[in-house]
Amino acid sequence: MIGDPKLDAGTERARLAARVSWVGLVVNLLLTGFKYAAGFLGHSGAMVADATHSLSDLITDVAAVVGFKMVAKPIDASHDYGHGKIETLLANLCGLFLLAAGLFLLWGGGTNLYNALARGEVLPQPGFIAFAAAGISVVSKEILYVYTIRWSRRLDSSALAAKAWDHRSDALSSVGTLVGIGGALFLGERFRILDPLAAVVVSVCILRVSLPLIRESLDELLEASLDEEREGQIQALICSVPGVKGCHALRTRRIGAATAVEAHVLVPRELSIVEAHDVATRAERALEGSLRGQLFVNLHVEPLPEPGHPHREGALSWEGEEEEGRGGP
C-alpha cells in the first residue's frame, strides 16, 4: 500500500479543506440573516427566495465542516481504506441541495410568471434595501466561489468543488434577483415581471450544475471505475516497468481524494519470489510517482504462461486482457 492516509499530508489536507468550509460558513451565515431581513423589510419575495438559497448553502457548509473533520481521522479497525468516502457523500449532499434550491426557485418564479401573465396579478414593488442586499450577495458570493474553487483544485477535493459551485449558483441567483428588483424599482410596474423571469432562468442554470455533481458523486459511492483513459495510462505505466511482462485484471476506484488500484502483474517464470516482489515494488513506486493524492495499491504477481499456453499471447498485451481481467478471478 502506497501513500498511507495516516501520514500527516492527509490530515493537513482535511484541515485546510475544513478551514475553507469555515470561511464559507461564516459568510453564508451573515448573508442569510441579512438577506432575510432585507427581503421582509423590502417586501421582496425574490429576496426571500434568494435568502432561502443561501440557507441551503449554510446547511451544506455545516455538513462540510463536520465531514472534513471526520475525513481527517486515520485508518482504524473498521475502516481499512480510511474515511475518504465521507467527502464523496458531502459532494452528493451539496448536489442534492443545489437541485432542491433550483427546483424551489423554478417553482416560485414560474408561479409568479403565471400569476402576472395569465391572471393579470400586479407584482409588488420591492424596496431599495432588497436591491442593495442582492448586489452585496453577488459580489461576496463570487469572491467566495473563486476562493473555494482554487482550494478545491489545490487539494483535489470534489466536496470543495461542489461547495464552490454552490457559491456560484447563489451568486447567479442573486444576479437574477438584482435584475428583477432593479427592473421593478427603476423601470416601472410593467417591468416587475423581470423578477420572476430572471428567477426561472437562474434556476435552470442551478439545475444544470447540480445534476453532474450528483451523477459523479453517485458513481464514486457505487464504486465506479476510473475512466478508460486513466485506466489505460495505469496499465501502460505498470507494463513499462522493467521485469513486467504483462498486466491484467485491473480494478480501480476512487475513495474521496485517494485512488485504489488492484492488478495482476505477469513476470518471467524464472524469477525468485524475492525478485518478483522487487518488480511489483517498482511498479508500485511508478504508480506512486504518477498518480496524484493518496494511493492504495494491491498488485498480485503471476508467472508468465509457458510458450504455447493459450493465454500467453493475450497476457503479453495488456490491451487484449482488459475485458478478461475484469471478468476473471
CA distance 71 to 82: 8
**Residues with Cβ < 8 Å from 235, sequence gap 6 or more?**
247, 250, 263, 318, 319, 322
CB neighbour burial string for 218-245, b if at least 16 within 10 angstroms, e if fewer: eebeeeeebeeeebeebbebbbebebbb
Looking at residue 70, which CATH number applies to its domain? 1.20.1510.10
CA distance 3 to 81: 11
pTM above 0.75, yes or no: no
Q: Are residues 232 and 156 in the same domain?
A: no
Domain annotation covers residue 2: no
- State the residue range of the domain holding 263: 228-327
CA distance 44 to 36: 10
Q: Are residues 186 and 38 in the same domain?
A: yes
Last residue in a domain, options 221, 237, 268: 221
pLDDT digits (tens, 9 = 90+) for 301-316: 888 776 655 555 555 5
Last residue in a domain, options 192, 221, 250: 221
Q: Are residues 124 and 239 in the same domain?
A: no
CB 61 within 8 A of CB 24: yes
Q: Are residues 77 and 212 in the same domain?
A: yes
Q: Are residues 178 and 264 in the same domain?
A: no
Check residue 163 and give its pLDDT: 82
pLDDT digits (tens, 9 = 90+) for 82-133: 566 777 777 788 788 878 878 887 888 788 888 888 887 777 777 889 889 9
Q: Are residues 114 and 206 in the same domain?
A: yes
Domain annotation covers residue 305: yes
pLDDT digits (tens, 9 = 90+) for 148-184: 999 888 887 777 888 888 888 788 878 878 887 888 7
Query: Cell 470543495 appears where?
Result: 160
CB 58 within 8 A of CB 23: no
Q: Are residues 278 and 314 in the same domain?
A: yes
Check residue 142 and give its pLDDT: 93
What mean pLDDT value characterizes the chain? Answer: 77
Q: What percent of the chain has pLDDT over 70?
A: 81
Looking at residue 250, which CATH number applies to its domain? 3.30.70.1350
Q: Are residues 147 and 241 in the same domain?
A: no
pLDDT at 328 over 50: no
Last residue in a domain, options 191, 221, 251: 221
Most confident of 38-47, 222-231, 290-299, 303-312: 38-47
Q: Are residues 106 and 199 in the same domain?
A: yes
Q: Are residues 208 and 256 in the same domain?
A: no
Domain annotation covers residue 3: no
The tally of domains found in the chain comes to 2
User: In the chain, what is the greatest distance between 2 CA atoms, to the nearest angstrom?
Assistant: 88
Alpha-carbon torsion, ordered 49, 50, 55, 57, to 10 deg: 130
pLDDT digits (tens, 9 = 90+) for 204-238: 877 887 888 888 888 877 777 777 888 888 888 88
CB 103 within 8 A of CB 136: no
Check residue 6 and give its pLDDT: 38
Domain annotation covers residue 139: yes
- Of 27-31, 183-187, 299-303, the one with minimum mean pLDDT is 183-187
Domain annotation covers residue 156: yes
Q: Are residues 217 and 232 in the same domain?
A: no
* Span 19-34, average pLDDT: 88
Q: Are residues 246 and 274 in the same domain?
A: yes
